[in-house]
Structure 1
Amino acid sequence: MSPRALGALGAALALSLTLSSCGLVRDLTAGDEPEAPTEAGSEEQAEEVAAEELPFTRQGRMFVEDGNDVAFEVVINALESNGEYLMIDVTHNILEPLPGAVTSAVAPIRMVDPLSGEVLRVLSNDDHGENYGTYFVEGDPFLPTHEGLPLPMRRYFPAPSEEVETLTFTGAGLGYVPGVPISYVDEFTESPEPNVYDHIDPETWEQGELPDEIFYPDDVPESGLDVSEDRQSVESFVDSDIASTTRAGDQETIALHADDMFEVDEAEPTDEAAETIRQTAASLRENLAEGTEITVIGHTDGTGSDDHNQTLSENRAESARELVEEELGDGFTLTTEGRGADELLAEEGGDDDEEARARNRRVEFFYEVPLDASDSEDTDGLDAAQRHVAEPAAYFEDMEAHTTVSHNDLDLNVYPLVRDGAYLFQVVGFQNSTLGDLEADLEGDEARLPGSPAQYTEGTMGGFRLEEPETGLIRYVVRIRTGEEEYEDFADEIHTLSPGEEYLALAVFPAPATDVSEMTLYAGAFGEIAGVPIR
């Protein structure tokens, strides 16, 4: 193998290791030996280790080509914003001998505002397609790296809003790191002068004797870049027996299940519909400012002719508008649309056809809200439409697994949920109990509820969901909007597992009310896990 292959890690990989081949070690501290872990769920365990100043440290494992994992460490040294861009400065350490080239696929790191749900993506240089920041050969994603020699790394993102004080770091095989403080500066702290070319030849990658510290050039983005595509938003979905709420950036949709509102093939509301409409009006008053425009949209399932479905959807939307308008009173503008069977939420024709068609028969209330919308105080509206926003989580060092469950030859270590702003961050550890590599096949009927929207049940952890014990509300894994009608789950994929090692994966959910202290986790093929605590 060439010296370059043996001594190279992708610059993107160093901060963007996919969890298909990386897993966190249990000990997330650095330096002194950690204290013995306390019992999960105890008062001591729930206390966060408030670290107001950087550095923050996380350790993980990376997968190399011969099947051996090696330990690595990332130290977050600084997070600076100059008002236009955000810069993260980290040190990357290989903690064990590196026997081969890293085989991980690239998965981007993200900086997340847990209050607004804004997701910031690493900026790339259009001239060569690689990330702004540290490089060895411009336009080449690889860096020389060596065991025992710290590798300094910088990456750049769009700047967050000026009022944001901390962000949550996710990705890089490290799960997540909450509470990373932002320093607001006029100019970024200059990186040290590069000395790498004094010791390593960029043409041959041959190296001489290396110093104790080695530094690389820094490709800083020029002012005025269009970073709109690198600012992304989170879409959340909360479901109940009578209604569901979807939030995507500043757009919100309350969907009422039509079967609770209308008789079959009828547009006249039932007597029972009045209470649902009253709760809907209460939620709209709570969520919106006067003058907001609300669009009432009717939908049908796929049975019946197009003309019949279109007329039925229009008539049901009009009936719902009239009822809600009576409850809301003046101050809001309501319009109606009928979309027939053009926008099906659940796939029809399968084993759960009856539930899927029921999901597709719905009346929606669509409107826009500010990104900084606050916690809901209303208790008289729809449970599924309430917002729950707590303070951002503080940095913490370690957590003990709450419980372990098994499926075939795979163990699942379930860690306590962490409440961070408007979201719950769930870490689970997949562990191979065999003596050989294992492909994690976790998809199947257990990963979804009958009639569930397909987009919330895809991928390794897309089938995971949380249920509130008291209300029965279902909270699905949130999705990140990456483009026009393009989304990806805010959940990690797990594929090949080496024997014995634990591979931690992250999933993010919309948060419940702050007085909810535990949730039931439905973990796909692993089944139901009750009483997962929230710290």
Structure 2
Amino acid sequence: MRFRRVLCAGVVASLVLLAGCSGVEPDRPSSQRRSSPAASPAQTAQPSDRLVKVATAALSTKRLRLEMLRIERRPEESVLRFTLTNLEKGLASIDFPTSAASTGNFDFKLIDPVGHKGYTPLYDERDDSVGSDPSVRSAEPGVTYDAELHFPPIPEGVKTLTVLTPSTAGEFTGVPVIDASTASAGAGTATLPIRTPQGEVSGGVYDLFGIVEDPVKVTTTSGKEQEVGLRTDVLFDFDSAKLSDKAAQVLDGVAAETKAKADPAKPPIRIEGHTDGKGTGDYNIRLSRQRAQTVLEELRTRLGAEYRYEAEGKGETEPVAEEGGADDEQARQKNRRVEVSYQIRQRTPGTATASGGQHEQVGGAEGQPAAFRPSDGGTVASRTNEWKDSFGTRKARRMDVKPFYRDGGYLVAVFEITNLAGNLVEVDDYGNFGRFEEFTVLDPATNVRYMRVRIGPENWGEARLNLMAVDPGWAVFNTDVGTVNRGFFYVPAPPPGVKAVTFDAGRFGRFANVPIAE
């Protein structure tokens, strides 16, 4: 598997606004949404020993109480059991779509933050989620409905997972996984009807991809493979395959990490050289091949004969950034690179990690899966962004940053955005197509930047498009002035010793010293 970021093609303009490029669901049309003012979306209505949050879903103006009960492991599938309660005085729709065309579905996802996997629901040939059917009725006020949603099988040894909901409730960490034979009855006073699937049923199990950037390299990690993109401007003299004075220290670090993670039983360690688009094709292929071979020899000197190595020059044929635009020089710099990739050594499923984790730990930093968090804690920083749109209408948003926290091998960035002036729309200023692409997390001590975690495969689109990220799936649920939208996204976890980070929130600016909750 190669980590490539390629542009999605042929997306109809009217569909792009919501769906962008997606590997699970088709591109789907947008729609306008309005909602009445509501309480803070992080508010809960039950004791903390129950997995309960209040949720507003997209395409709806109603508040529902969601409670996650358990995930039942079966031989051929897994079943998420949960309840929904209508908190409004009138009827409320009860689906949780990720686009207008998926109305009538529960588009939840399961995340294994230790095993670095993402699970999408089972869907039938009509693109309906398998399990309870939310399209046949609306929820009566005050009634608690039992519901279920089916997923691919969960491996043995996994004891808890995180459930992602496309709502203001966001993520439910610490949802227990049990064997179906030990499952108890539901908790509701009514039960949603179960769909009869039409045709073939299929679901997805994907690697999670984390990207970490520092001044000398970009590291992309999944549960199985790691790729380190070394900047050739740091490694080599200009227009040369001769190593620079800084190269030895950089390659020492790469070799140490490779030795710690690479599996000698799954060769080879691949080294690929890449150039920018300047120069002739033949020249670029030759230079990139020479640079790849130089890095191969340096790694072999440091790692020895236990590993097998392969080197190849790609020239300018596989760029990761588009050249010729306003940021041409930055794009060319990104394209000048040497990539080192290898298969990651796997632990036996069900064994404890060095930090006492619940099941196999692969890829990212060691860490326990988070327990359920019924609330986000107090606001640690706030800032207002104000501007006028193209029609001269004043718009203003306030961001309230909450403490971040760790979930397995990841850090969860949590915040609320309050609409102070001007109605919101789906694509409201947080990155292309309304998600949080422009937000990142920085370690100020090392200048390492942590990017949003994505759910594979890696060719779902260039990073600037609407990828399937570990986030709520929408940026906007409530649209009226005075309403609040809770947001979150996952990034690879910084080292355990890091207790605070900088939140780079795009047009909201940078928030320093955001604490990482214990």
TM-score, normalization: structure 1? Answer: 0.76
1:405 matches 2:383: yes
Which has the higher mean CA deviation after the structures are superposed, 143-152 or 18-27? Answer: 18-27
For residues 139-163 of structure 1, the C-alpha deviation after alignment (integer angstroms, 9 at most, x for no partner) is: xx44332222222211011122111
C-alpha displacement at 1:370, in angstroms? 4.2
Of 491, 494, 511, 2:475 maps to 494
Structure 2: 5+ residue runs without aligned partners? 1-24, 26-30, 100-106, 356-362, 387-395, 462-466
Aligned pairs for 1:438-453 (under 5 A) are 438-439=424-425, 443=429
For residues 276-334 of structure 1, the C-alpha deviation after alignment (integer angstroms, 9 at most, x for no partner) is: 22221111111123344201000001111211111111111011111111111120001
Q: Which amino acid aligns with 1:528?
A: R
| Whole-angstrom CA distance in 2 between matches of 1:20 and 1:258 | 48
Say what the alpha-carbon RMSD is for the aligned residues: 3.4
| Whole-angstrom CA distance in 1 between matches of 2:457 and 2:423 | 33
| Whole-angstrom CA distance in 2 between matches of 1:388 and 1:189 | 35
> In the alignment, which residue of structure 2 is the partner of 1:320?
295
C-alpha displacement at 1:27, in angstroms? 5.0
> In the alignment, which residue of structure 1 is the partner of 2:228?
254
C-alpha displacement at 1:427, in angstroms? 1.8
Aligned pairs for 1:506-525 (under 5 A) are 506-525=488-507
1:181 matches 2:209: no
Of 53, 58, 63, 1:58 maps to 53
For residues 191-217 of structure 1, the C-alpha deviation after alignment (integer angstroms, 9 at most, x for no partner) is: 79xxxxxxxxxxxxxxxxxxx943343
Q: 1:530 to 1:19 in 2, by over 3 A?
A: farther
Aligned length: 452
Of 374, 384, 391, 2:368 maps to 391
| Whole-angstrom CA distance in 1 between matches of 2:458 and 2:441 | 27
The one of the two structures with greater contact order (alpha-carbon pairs below 8 A, sep at least 6) is 2
1:29 matches 2:15: no
> In the alignment, which residue of structure 2 is the partner of 1:424?
411
Contact 1:321/1:336 (8 A) holds in 2: yes
Q: 1:20 to 1:97 in 2, by over 3 A?
A: same
> In the alignment, which residue of structure 2 is the partner of 1:157?
151
C-alpha displacement at 1:233, in angstroms? 1.5
Q: 1:424 to 1:154 in 2, by over 3 A?
A: same
1:130 matches 2:97: no
> In the alignment, which residue of structure 2 is the partner of 1:533?
515
> In the alignment, which residue of structure 2 is the partner of 1:454?
none
Contact 2:97/2:166 (8 A) holds in 1: no
Q: 1:515 to 1:81 in 2, by over 3 A?
A: same
C-alpha displacement at 1:102, in angstroms? 8.2
Q: Which protein shows a greater Rg?
A: 1
| Whole-angstrom CA distance in 1 between matches of 2:240 and 2:33 | 50
Q: Which amino acid aligns with 2:425?
A: E
C-alpha displacement at 1:247, in angstroms? 0.9
Contact 2:84/2:147 (8 A) holds in 1: yes
Of 140, 155, 161, 1:167 maps to 161
Contact 2:380/2:403 (8 A) holds in 1: yes
| Whole-angstrom CA distance in 2 between matches of 1:99 and 1:149 | 10
Structure 1: 5+ residue runs without aligned partners? 1-11, 13-17, 33-48, 193-211, 378-385, 448-456
TM-score, normalization: structure 2? Answer: 0.79
Contact 2:132/2:193 (8 A) holds in 1: yes
Q: 1:219 to 1:521 in 2, by over 3 A?
A: same
Q: Which amino acid aligns with 1:404?
A: S
Q: 1:19 to 1:133 in 2, by over 3 A?
A: farther
Which has the higher mean CA deviation after the structures are superposed, 368-377 or 77-86? Answer: 368-377
Q: Which amino acid aligns with 2:245?
A: D
Q: 1:21 to 1:490 in 2, by over 3 A?
A: farther
C-alpha displacement at 1:336, in angstroms? 0.6
